[in-house]
Amino acid sequence: MEEKKERGGAVRVGLVWGGIGGVVGLLVSLLGSLIGIVVAIFIGVSCGRRAAAAEQRAGAISGLIGGAIAAPVYALGSTIGALFAAQEIGAARLAAMLSELLGSTVSADEAWVFFLASLVLSAVIEITLLIAAATGAGAWAKRR
């Protein structure tokens, strides 16, 4: 019975920080995916510290559990924010910027495909960094 109570602490923290991270990710990613990647580290550290404090087991395990639960929600919010921002810019302007940057002609459809691929890459990076930061912060919190 006590084992379930211990596990619930990191899961609860992960759910709370996933919700907070999803909203924060949505808002900051309106400014760009790079900002969403940077903020993922801060959300991961906050989540990992609190998950480690909520459980009696090893801090790295608690941080890993909390981060693994929070990361997908954060990435979803961040991706939605970036999609809103791109919708405001428009595919034609994205294509024009890419054409100018690459020095070749890029259609609006190709620009949109490039943008969606960059969102997938950004989400993978965000999830990886958030989980790693949460695990490290959880281990650091228990070390003191």
From the list 89, 114, 90, the residue with the least C-alpha distance to 101 is 114
Contacts of 132 (CB under 8 A, 6+ apart): 44, 67
* Domain assignment of residue 134, given as a range: 2-143
State the total domains in the chain. Answer: 1
What residue type is 108 in one-letter code? Answer: A
Residues 41-66 have a mean pLDDT of 82
Residue 124's SS3 state is helix
From the list 70, 51, 71, the residue with the least C-alpha distance to 60 is 51
Rounded to two decimals, the pTM is 0.82
CA 59 – CA 57 distance, rounded (Å) = 6
CA 64 – CA 66 distance, rounded (Å) = 6
CA 53 – CA 9 distance, rounded (Å) = 9
* pLDDT tens-place string over residues 99-139: 898 888 888 888 889 889 999 999 999 999 999 998 888 88
User: Which structure tokens are listed for 49?
Assistant: 């510290």
> What's residue 144's pLDDT?
64
Residue 14 exposure: Cα atoms within 13 Å on the Cβ side: 25
* pLDDT tens-place string over residues 72-108: 888 888 888 888 888 888 888 888 888 898 888 888 8
DSSP string, 34-88: HHHHHHHHHHHHHHHHHHHHH-SS-HHHHHHHHHHHHHHHHHHHHHHHHHHHHHH
